[in-house]
């Protein structure tokens, strides 16, 4: 398909029913057709313009221009962007299988993926990868993206890694055969209190349902009777994954969500009654960054009176995008319908077509208006009142999901000083150095996480190193009061990061959640 056909095809799709196949397209190319006009403009510009033009970019800019006049979520993505966008949702990528971070311009392995290609050849946490196929990647100011490009590759291909290991004088060499590496969407799953399980979902991808079922079964085997489902900062993902998760929680034939659009008839999604956790208490946690598929699950639990929702009003992304794949690997994600909760609430918050700036600033504007810190600052019109389906409790539409229990944002804990230290990577870099220097000692002293959580205290020397590095980079608290406000949360963050580096993300959240106000409110409700 040439560039002209590509732009004409897209323009035609804007006028056709969402479910029509491209084989059925009959493009009106009459003399007065808008498509004819579009084609002539492209041909004229490409052939007659005074300077040479990038015709590919010309077409892409035209597509983007059309989409910008629509809703905030209809968008165009290049082939490269499509691949990057899909990777977290597809459930895997192909590479060597390590979690890593950069320290002093060197790639340091945080954890090799369990049973992954790197672990199989003997690469361990703390190793520094300094070369790839005899090309240096350490000390050469190479970007993280370029390093990832060199490490990743098709399954079955081999890569030779040069590794420096603490306590070993000579450089080590490992030949790693690349393989499919799983990308998990469940961030954490553990027993947070006796008989109370905690599961945090990071996004809704291709493997989320299988991961969730495995987590529920494991926690039930450990005595879980109630569930805290954490969807804070979950930006959404696949509709089908959200439906599958809700199906695990709801009774047979209960409505989960329905979609409807100008050219798309109403389509309902209902629970099949075969879920793993259709009994027992549930509390869903949300915040202002909970969006899309995460709001579908939240709305279903709330409207069906299956459990309570705790936190702050969610983002309000209730537009259904249909992906339209183009021949060169690029993609248009075109909005074709709205999501509605079982009670009939539209999840999508209001927006002005073409005004992307105001839409992007919505969370900031909520903060300015006091919505994130004071429940009384949130006002709903009577026309936005809805009733839950079993207990007839009042819930509100108008964009996002309003929780049953509001937990204000604590704006005092995360100080400007702490924010600057984090933004300049001072906290993460000093934490990596500490774990690198004390890994063996820490593992010996704390052979299991329970002992670590109970007894470990962040050493003052690590805090001092962070403050000293901050001073080097001219990052200092404005006064002693700000420093004292910073230290408790900084210590908590450091302990959580050390737990992550020694174990995994469940242990990270296990530390952090003890001071998370939304989690603590959920536990109060359940208990």
Q: Which residues are catalytic?
A: 292, 303, 317
Round the CA-based radius of gyration of the chain to a whole number and report it: 26
DSSP class of 214:
H
- Token pair for residue 502? 């020694």
DSSP class of 508:
H
Convert 264-293 into a string of H (helix), E (strand) and C (coil): CCCEEEECCCCCCCCCCCEEEEECCCCCCH
The contacts of residue 283 (CB under 8 Å, 6+ apart) are 226, 227, 228, 229, 307, 308, 309, 310, 522, 525, 526
Cα separation of 213 and 509, whole Å? Answer: 20
DSSP class of 237:
B
What burial class does residue 197 get, using C-beta atoms within 10 Å of its C-beta: 0-12 exposed, 13-18 middle, 19+ buried? Answer: buried
DSSP-assigned states of every residue in 329-359 = S-EEEEEEEEEE-TTS-B-PPP--TT-HHHH
> b/e map of 30-58 (b: 16 or more CB within 10 Å)?
eeeeebeebbeebeeebeeeeeeeebeeb
* 3-state SS, residue 327: coil
Phi-psi region of 258 (alpha: psi -120 to 50; beta: other; left: phi over 0): beta
Q: Please report how many Cα atoms fall inside a 13 Å half-sphere around the Cα of residue 293, on the Cβ side.
A: 23
Report whether 109 contacts 501 (CB < 8 A).
no
Backbone phi, then psi, for 250, in 5-degree steps?
-105, 160
Cα separation of 332 and 252, whole Å? Answer: 36
Q: Return the H-helix or E-strand segment holding 386.
A: strand 385-387
Backbone phi, then psi, for 415, in 5-degree steps?
-75, 160
* Angle, CA 523 vertex, CA 519 and CA 526 arms, to 5°: 140
* 3-state SS, residue 229: strand
Cα 290 to Cα 191, 286, 313: the distances in Å are 23, 6, 8
């Amino acid at each position: 398909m040439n560039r002209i056909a590509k732009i004409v095809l897209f323009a035609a799709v804007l006028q056709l029913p969402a479910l029509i196949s491209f084989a059925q397209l009959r493009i009106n190319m009459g003399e007065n057709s808008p498509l004819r006009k579009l084609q002539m403009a492209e041909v004229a510009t490409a052939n007659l313009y005074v300077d040479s033009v990038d015709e590919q970019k010309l077409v892409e800019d035209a597509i983007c221009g059309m989409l910008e006049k629509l809703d905030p979520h209809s968008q165009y993505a290049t082939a490269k962007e499509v691949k990057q966008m899909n990777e977290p949702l597809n459930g895997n990528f192909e590479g060597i299988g390590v979690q890593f971070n950069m320290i002093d311009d060197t790639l340091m392995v945080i954890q090799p993926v369990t049973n992954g290609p790197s672990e199989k050849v003997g690469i361990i946490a703390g190793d520094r990868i300094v070369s790839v196929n005899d090309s240096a990647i350490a000390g050469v100011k190479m970007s993280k993206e370029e390093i990832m490009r060199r490490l990743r590759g098709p399954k079955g291909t081999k890569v030779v890694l040069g590794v420096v290991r603490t306590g070993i004088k000579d450089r080590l060499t490992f030949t790693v055969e690349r393989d499919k590496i799983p990308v998990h969407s469940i961030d954490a799953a553990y027993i947070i209190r006796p008989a109370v399980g905690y599961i945090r979902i990071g996004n809704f991808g291709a493997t989320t349902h299988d991961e969730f079922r495995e987590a529920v079964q494991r926690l039930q085997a450990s005595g879980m009777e109630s569930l805290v489902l954490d969807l804070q900062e979950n930006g959404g993902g696949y509709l089908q994954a959200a439906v599958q998760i809700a199906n695990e929680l709801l009774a047979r034939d209960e409505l989960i969500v329905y979609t409807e659009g100008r050219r798309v008839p109403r389509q309902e999604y209902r629970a099949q009654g075969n879920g793993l956790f259709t009994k027992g208490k549930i509390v869903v946690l949300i915040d202002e960054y909970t969006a899309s598929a995460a709001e579908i699950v939240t709305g279903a639990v709330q409207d069906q009176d299956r459990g309570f929702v705790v936190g702050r009003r969610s983002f309000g992304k209730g537009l259904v995008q249909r992906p339209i794949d183009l021949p060169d690997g690029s993609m248009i994600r075109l909005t074709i319908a709205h999501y509605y909760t079982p009670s009939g609430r539209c999840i999508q918050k209001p927006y002005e077509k073409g005004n992307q700036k105001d839409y992007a600033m919505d969370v900031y504007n909520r903060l300015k208006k006091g919505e994130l810190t004071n429940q009384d600052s949130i006002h709903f019109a009577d026309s936005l009142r809805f009733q839950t389906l079993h207990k007839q409790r009042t819930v509100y539409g108008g964009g996002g999901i309003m929780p049953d229990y509001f937990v204000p944002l604590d704006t005092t804990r995360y100080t400007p000083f702490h924010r600057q230290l984090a933004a300049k990577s001072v906290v993460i870099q000093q934490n990596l150095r500490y774990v690198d220097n004390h890994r063996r000692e820490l593992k010996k002293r704390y052979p299991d996480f329970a002992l670590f959580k109970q007894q470990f205290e962040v050493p003052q020397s690590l805090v001092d190193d962070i403050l000293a590095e901050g001073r080097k980079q001219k990052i200092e608290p404005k006064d002693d009061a700000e420093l004292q406000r910073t230290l408790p949360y900084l210590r908590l963050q450091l302990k959580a990061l050390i737990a992550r580096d020694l174990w995994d993300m469940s242990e990270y959240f296990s530390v952090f959640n003890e001071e998370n106000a939304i989690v603590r409110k959920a536990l109060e409700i359940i208990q």
